[in-house]
């Protein structure tokens, strides 16, 4: 059975449950980012093969999860271990590069430099401080633009975290 069939049945009233039980709660697509993209940095394709194939612990995926618009600038900085699948989310003051740098420094100091071998992220402006992170000995790799599938596990985990922390609560 295809997921579109289930949605059609829900909207037609054939199934008694509403869209509120679905993971996305029947919400439409998200508006596009207006802050621009970071075009510098090392591509994910130049990263270590051990990170791509999840062969060793210490390679992390990072991103930001936005809170509701207008009410608060606070957001989460989630980190996902590619091999271990350990998921850590740190609440930060804003989506600025300064806040994200603090969160990454916290990750490095908490787990130790040996446990943070590399960080893979999207090309958001919150990682404009990537050179300062690389000076600490942790290389930062950037996924291709509009290629969320290159960090699919983290995107899925962010969706799961969003169920427990909806935008209204952050």
SS3 23: coil
Give the C-alpha separation, 30 to 15, whole Å: 26
The dihedral sign for the CA sequence 133, 135, 139, 141 = positive
Write down the CATH number for the domain with range 31-164. Answer: 3.30.420.10
Q: What is the pLDDT of residues 69-83, one digit of tens each?
A: 666 788 999 999 999
Distances (CA, A) of 56 to 21, 48, 82: 37, 10, 8
Contact, 76 vs 91, CB < 8 A? yes
How many other C-beta atoms can be found within 10 angstroms of the C-beta atom of residue 2?
Answer: 7
Q: pLDDT tens digit string along 4-62?
A: 888 788 888 888 887 777 776 766 666 555 555 566 788 888 988 888 888 999 999 99
- Residue 134: per-residue pLDDT: 94
Domain boundaries, the chain: 1-29, 31-164
């Amino acid at each position: 059975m295809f997921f579109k069939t289930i949605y059609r049945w829900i909207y037609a009233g054939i199934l008694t449950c509403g869209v509120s039980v679905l993971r996305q709660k029947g919400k439409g697509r998200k508006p596009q980012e207006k802050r621009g993209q970071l075009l510098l940095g090392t591509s994910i394709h130049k990263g270590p093969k051990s990170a791509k194939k999840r062969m060793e612990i210490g390679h992390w995926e990072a991103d930001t999860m936005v809170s509701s618009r207008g009410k608060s600038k606070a957001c989460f900085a989630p980190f996902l271990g590619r091999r271990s699948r350990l998921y850590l989310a740190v609440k930060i003051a804003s989506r600025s590069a300064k806040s994200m740098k603090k969160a990454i420094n916290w990750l490095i100091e908490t787990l130790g430099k040996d446990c943070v071998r590399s960080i893979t992220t999207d090309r958001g402006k919150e990682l404009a401080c990537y050179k300062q992170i690389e000076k600490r000995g942790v290389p930062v790799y950037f996924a291709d633009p509009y290629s969320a599938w290159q960090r699919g596990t983290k995107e899925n985990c962010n969706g799961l975290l969003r169920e427990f922390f909806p935008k209204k609560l952050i």
